[in-house]
Amino acid sequence: MVGLPCFVKANRAGSSFGVYLVNSKSELEPAIMNAFKEDYQILIESALVGREVSVGVAEFNNKINVLPITEIISENDFFDYAAKYEGKAQEITPAKIAEPSKIEVEKWSRLIYKKLGLKGLIRSEFIIVDDIPHLLEINSVPGMTSKSIIPQQVSAMGIELSDFFNYLLQTALKQE
């Protein structure tokens, strides 16, 4: 059973459109109705209190590579549109998280990529609670704007973005 607080999310909307933090029963129905304006499928999930991290994963050089982890610290109640695109969040790459948490996030990111048969570039979001990462979502089409997380992670690897995309293209062509 999902209690309060919880999130109501439009299933396939991006950039946190159709995402509502619900703290009271009176907020639940309006959140559901608004989420349905963005998509005909919605999700309702528990709101976890912890550290939010984002991690890119891509296959290249004949292995599944986990990019440096980014910690997201939002000035708002959660990493919403304003936090993402209006400078209301800090994105720290590489994340300053405990080594055990880092190892677990990397392990689960790699395992999710492999077990779900994902290809190309994806980004997973986790909330770390008591050093345990909880998967929030998998983004199969991560953003690539100048403010997006993946370019920050690639830069932290010391790789030019153009070289990174060439690695991805070469891998995709070999798989065909």
Q: What is the mean pLDDT of residues 161-167?
A: 92
The full set of domain ranges for the chain reads: 6-46, 51-175
- Extract the tokens encoding 34: 């608004």
- For residue 147, what pLDDT is reported? 78
- For residue 54, what pLDDT is reported? 97
Domain boundaries 6-46, CATH class: alpha beta
Instruction: Indicate if the pLDDT at residue 114 is higher than 80.
Output: yes
- For residue 1, what pLDDT is reported? 81
Superfamily the domain 51-175 falls into: ATP-grasp fold, B domain (3.30.470.20)
Q: What is the mean pLDDT of the chain?
A: 89
- For residue 85, what pLDDT is reported? 66
pLDDT top residue among 17 and 112:
112
- For residue 72, what pLDDT is reported? 93
Q: pLDDT, tens digit, for every residue of 43-96?
A: 999 999 899 999 999 998 889 999 999 999 977 676 656 666 667 778 999 999
Q: pLDDT, tens digit, for every residue of 12-46?
A: 766 566 789 999 999 999 999 999 998 999 999 99
Q: pLDDT, tens digit, for every residue of 125-142?
A: 999 999 999 999 899 889
